Amino acid sequence: MTLTEELKSAVAMEWEGFERLMADSLTSRSDLLNRINGYLLGNSGKKLRPLLALVTAKACSGSINQKAIACAAVSELIHTATLLHDDVVDGSDHRRGRLTVRKLFSSGASLLMGDYWLTRAIHLLIKYGCPYEVLGIYSKSLEELAEGEIIQMELADSLRTTEDDYIQVIRRKTASLFIASVKGPAIVSGASDEVISAMEQYAYWLGCSFQIRDDILDYRPTSETGKDSDSDIMERKITMPLLCAMRNAPEDEERIRRRMGDITCDPSKVEQDRGIAAEIRDFVLSHGGLDSARGILRNYAIKAQEYLKVLQPSQCRDGLMSIAAYVGGL
């Protein structure tokens, strides 16, 4: 049994409720909307964020109420909406081994579907009477998601990304929704302020770990990840593996930053850009960038686990520990 299957079994009844809520909330009078919704629901990955939401709720209170199930659905709706938007911004053709909505339908359809899923998320928070504080948490995560993406675009233009810059970006674009997915369910489950604060820290370190892991996977072939390989380099994004490689070989840093600047992001020069991307990937691999990034990833995952000590021992607390271990490769 995989970790995902184990976690789902720990919240089996509520997981069924989450899946029903997702399907019901996305039913539309539009045939096109229903077609795209069906395509997305049939290829929605591991659903880590809603799993986190439900397991957190049970770890905090021993049970899962309808508001926590709504939070789980909201987290998945927001996450999918951001992917639909990202695929347009990044021009991605593949996600999770399948064609993106942008590629299969159109960029316009992908953008509008992202907007639609966001509106359904807001609707669920209101429909199930989630406290104003929880609405604020999800609203803040959306603000930070957008801000993080824009900051990353600015940094891609400047080519001066530092490790501090990188951490600020991933805190916003990734960790913010992890925080909402954990903090919201903790609040609606009646957790104490001490537990809510600890769970927020757990989600922060887990979210940063998750993004570093994803950035490491960008250096793996498409056949292994289901994503376009070298996509970060092709978009001139300087992520943790490259930062680590440049730190390991400081004498080459300026040359590599200049080479990153030679990437045109021009569709008519894609082969030229791929050649430069391969050169930069080889630099990362030959200068220990991946190993160094994995070391940072492991340390972040361990920090996430430390904050779970505030919870009472339970199957769900063990599940949260296992999620951090899985993400961090512990």
CB 18 within 8 A of CB 51: no
CA distances from 249 to 124, 219, 239, 242, 254 (A): 50, 18, 16, 10, 10
Pick among 3.40.630.30, 3.40.718.10, 3.80.30.20, 1.10.600.10: CATH of 3-328: 1.10.600.10
Encode pLDDT of 12-46 as tens digits. 999 999 999 999 999 989 999 999 999 999 877 78
Mean pLDDT within 70-96: 92
**Coil, strand or helix at 78:** helix
Q: How confident is the model at residue 2 (pLDDT cuts 50, 70, 90)?
A: confident
Distance between CA atoms of residues 135 and 107, nearest Å: 29
Across-strand partners of 98?
95
Write out the H or E segment, with its range, that includes residue 99: strand 98-99
Q: What mean pLDDT is reported for the chain?
A: 93
Distance between CA atoms of residues 297 and 216, nearest Å: 10
- The structural domains of the chain, with segments of one domain joined by +, span 3-328
**Coil, strand or helix at 91:** coil
Q: How confident is the model at residue 225 (pLDDT cuts 50, 70, 90)?
A: low
Burial of 157 (0-12, 13-18, 19+ CB in 10 A): exposed
Within 10 Å of residue 164's Cβ, how many Cβ atoms?
8
Instruction: Decide if pLDDT at 315 tops 90.
Output: yes
State the pTM of this model. Answer: 0.93
Instruction: Please tell me which residue, 96 or 291, carries the higher pLDDT value.
Output: 291
Mean pLDDT within 238-266: 95
Q: How confident is the model at residue 111 (pLDDT cuts 50, 70, 90)?
A: very high
pLDDT of 5: 87
Distance between CA atoms of residues 172 and 304, nearest Å: 17
Nearest to 101 by CA among 120, 125, 81, 119: 81
Within 10 Å of residue 272's Cβ, how many Cβ atoms?
13
Write out the H or E segment, with its range, that includes residue 216: helix 193-217
Q: Which two tokens stand for residue 300?
A: 């972040």
pLDDT of 231: 85
Mean pLDDT within 233-237: 92
pLDDT of 328: 96
Instruction: Decide if pLDDT at 140 tops 80.
Output: yes
pLDDT of 223: 53
Instruction: Decide if pLDDT at 145 tops 70.
Output: yes
pLDDT of 227: 60
